[in-house]
Structure 1
Amino acid sequence: MPTQDRRERARAERGALIVRAARELAEADGWDAVTTRRLSEAVEYSQPVLYSHFTNMQAIVTAVALDGIAELAAVLRKAREADGLRGLAEAYLGYAEAHPAVYAAIFTRRTDLVFGSEESPEILKATFGELRAAVEPYADGDAETRTEVFWSALHGQATLNQDRRLRPAQRSDRIAHLVRLVTG
């Protein structure tokens, strides 16, 4: 059994290395630069080894997204507990700005993740739960829908900020306005 445990650990470490390398390549050069060839060179394993861990590039993006969602949940929790709704909004937009490729993997790239259903991974539900916990005190009835509207507005700002479609100097004012809309 120790040999089997060692093999499983080595396999898990290789998988984590592949995900880390994909994330680093994507953050440095964008997702279009993350090819199996470049990835196999970065991790120093052959392409068949990559495919023994992940069935395709979409599965790798999904793994990066899951890692990012776990990070985002922790960031949101800390901000919500320290600074409430506004702090959470700032943290969400800050995460999107600091990790654009991971943010894209989570919310805009094609993945195997199912959002908003019973089949959703627990980490997705937990991350949405952080958003909901910040919005719920201000909800008059359907807290889940109000949270989805708040999240949609944050996502819109994150995406438009990333594409430089919004005035950077107005970022704080947009957040304040959104918080006022939610808190009513």
Structure 2
Amino acid sequence: METTAVPNRIAERKLRDREVRRAQIISAARRIAELEGWPNVTVRRLSDEISYSQPVLYGHFESREGILAAVAIEGFQEIGLALEKARKRAKPGKIVEAVATAYLEFATSSPALYEAMFSLSLSIPFADANTPPELRFAFAQLMELFQGQGSKPEVLTELFWAGLHGIADLTRTKRFPPSRQKERVKMFVELFAFPS
């Protein structure tokens, strides 16, 4: 009995170590991107940053794109949690506004992460059978706003998401003046406010 316990503990420790290394790689990629932009996130740079050889990094991710996709997927989990929190804490009649504000605050507070999620050319499937659960979770938080609002809540959710993304991106690239953001969000939310 003891002879099987030791190999199990060793296997568990190796798995934990692997998960820690994977998290370090993702964290380093995010840190570099936030400070210097995504072009500076290379396997060589990550290897230097976390003091692991490039083959170790390739043991976790097949390519640089794999690392960036992992960052993006992590971002979808984070935005999903932020939207869920905003939705659950909002007062009745203010839920759509709370979710819209949380979305835009996420985009503003983590611009490189948001860019990885929506602007980098990554092969993460959206809206099909292979869509990662983190993306489904984030979309579900938006769709929850429109359940019972007609026969196509998915389409309404897509339009809401597209509008938020447009505001976020145009604000990030300084096409929209920040001074009107509050007014912009208020008017946008009114377009999607349905009587309870």
Q: TM-score range by the shorter chain?
A: over 0.9
Answer whether contact 2:74 2:134 (CA < 8 A) is retained. no
1:146 aligned to which of 126, 140, 156: 156
Letter in 2 for 1:95: F
- Write the deviation string for residues 9-55 of structure 1: whole angstroms up to 9, x where unpaired: 11111111101100111111110111112111110111111111111
Match of 1:13 among 9, 16, 20: 20
Normalised by the length of structure 1, the TM-score is: 0.95
Query: Which residue does 1:41 correspond to in 2?
Result: 48
Tell me, yes or no, if structure 1 residue 109 matches structure 2 residue 120. yes
Query: Which one-letter code corresponds to 1:111 in the other structure?
Result: L
Structure 1 match to 2:78: 71
Contact 2:111 2:172 in 1 (8 A): yes
Paired with 1:105 and 1:135, the residues of 2 have a C-alpha distance of: 27
Gaps of 5+ in 2: 1-6
- Find the counterpart in structure 2 of residue 95 from structure 1: 106
| 2:172 alignment partner AA | Q
Provide Cα deviations, 1:71-91, integer angstroms capped at 9, x if missing partner.
111100011112211000000
Conservation of the 8 A alpha-carbon contact between 1:136 and 1:147: no
Distance, in Å, in 2 between the alignment partners of 1:71 and 1:150 is 19
2:88 aligned to 75, 81, 100, which one? 81
Q: Structure 1 counterpart of 2:49, which letter? A: A
Q: Could you tell me which amino acid in structure 2 is paired with residue 162 of structure 1?
A: R
CA distance in 2, matches of 1:71, 1:36: 24
Q: How many residues align?
A: 183
Q: CA deviation at 1:63?
A: 0.7
From the CA coordinates, give the structure whose radius of gyration is larger. Answer: 2
**Conserved 8 A contact 1:19-1:63:** yes
Following superposition, the deviation at residue 68 of structure 1 comes to 1.0
Unpaired runs of 5+ residues, structure 1, are none
Q: Which residue of 2 aligns with 1:155?
A: 165
- Aligned position for 2:64: 57
Q: Which runs of 4+ in 1 moved over 6 A?
A: none
Alpha-carbon separation, structure 2, partners of 1:7 and 1:95: 34
Q: CA deviation at 1:163?
A: 0.4
What is the aligned counterpart of 1:119 among 126, 130, 135? Answer: 130
Per-residue deviation, residues 91-127 of structure 1 (Å, max 9, x unmatched): 0000000001111111111223111112211221111
Cα RMSD (Å) of the superposition?
1.2
Among residues 138, 142, 146, which one is paired with 1:135 in the alignment? 146
Q: Tell me how far 1:178 sits from its aligned partner.
A: 1.2
